[in-house]
Amino acid sequence: MDEPALIHNAQHGDLNAFNSLVLTYQDIVFNTALRILGDEDLAADASQNAFISAFRSLNSYRGGSFRAWLLRTVTNACYDELRRKKRRPTTPLEPETGEGEDIETPRWLIDPNPTTEDQLDQVELEHAIQHCLENLPTDFRAVVVLADIQGLDYGEVAMAVRTPIGTVKSRLARARLRLRECLQGFRELLPSAFRLEEERQL
């Protein structure tokens, strides 16, 4: 069954049709939540809440990109989660050094299984990106995640974050500028493949 038919059936209460849509979009929804929240468990909760909320408000969908409409729901769920987190901050499980500073990668968190160099590169890259993303204001983070990580066009991003295209353009430029500065700090940590790519482009 094609997507418009599934959406139509789901709007008439067909849960199986909606679950087919869930299976199609759950990867992008979960990864978006993961990049905005930076935590797998929170991202899973936000994704589940987003799908439940989407089913309940499915009649408010009036055409256009269903992916963008769905991502708007998950973005809202992430904003709610971030607000909740801000109200009730939790203490990280990171141990402290003698001077009271956090040890970011304690010995008991290191994976004992040996990994290949590529896997290590990927892990380093991901940590660097996530660190830089978390330093961005939430609105900028959502825009850059949707546009650069999930590959949505400006129109879809505008629909997902409910802002005009001009604002999306501006936020994306600011976010990229900040990310550029942040990633420069990780230049040595970034995988060699990326450094070579950069050199080629220059």
Partner 1 sequence: MTTPSFRDVEQLSAYLDGRLSQVEKTRLETRLQADPTLEALLGDLRHARSILRRTPKHSVPRNFTISPRMAGIRPPVPRLVPLFSWASAVAAFLFIITLGGTLVGQISSGTAAPMLASAPMTSQAYGLGGGLATDATMSALTDNTLYTPTPETFVLMAPQATSSIGTRSIAPLPVPMSAKKPVKTWLFIWPGLAVLLFGSALLIRWLTLLAYRRRINKK
Residues that bind partner 1 (CB under 8 A): 13, 15-16, 18-19, 22-23, 26-27, 29-31, 34-35, 40, 44, 47-48, 51-52, 55-56, 122, 125-126, 129, 144, 147-149, 151, 154, 169-170, 172-174, 176-177, 179-180, 183-184, 190, 194, 197-198, 201-202
Q: How far is the CB of 115 from partner 1 (least distance, A)?
A: 13
Of 95 and 184, the one with the shorter C-beta distance to partner 1 is 184
Q: How far is the CB of 137 from partner 1 (least distance, A)?
A: 16
Q: How far is the CB of 87 from partner 1 (least distance, A)?
A: 25
- Here the tokens at position 130 are 């996530």
Q: Rounded CA gap, 177 and 63, in Å? A: 34
Of 56 and 85, the one with the shorter C-beta distance to partner 1 is 56
**Residue whose entry in the numeric block shows the structure tokens 């949505």:** 152
Of 44 and 82, the one with the shorter C-beta distance to partner 1 is 44
Q: How far is the CB of 79 from partner 1 (least distance, A)?
A: 19
Q: Which residues make Cβ contacts (< 8 Å) with residue 154, sequence separation at least 6? A: 147, 165, 168, 169
Of 15 and 109, the one with the shorter C-beta distance to partner 1 is 15
Q: How far is the CB of 40 from partner 1 (least distance, A)?
A: 6
Is 182:131 a contact under the CB 8 Å cutoff?
yes
The one-letter code for the residue type at 100 is: G
**Range 127-133, long-range pairs (CB < 8 A, 24+ positions):** 128/183, 128/186, 128/189, 128/190, 129/183, 130/35, 130/38, 131/182, 131/186, 132/178, 132/179, 132/182, 132/183, 132/186, 133/35, 133/36, 133/38, 133/179
Of 98 and 151, the one with the shorter C-beta distance to partner 1 is 151
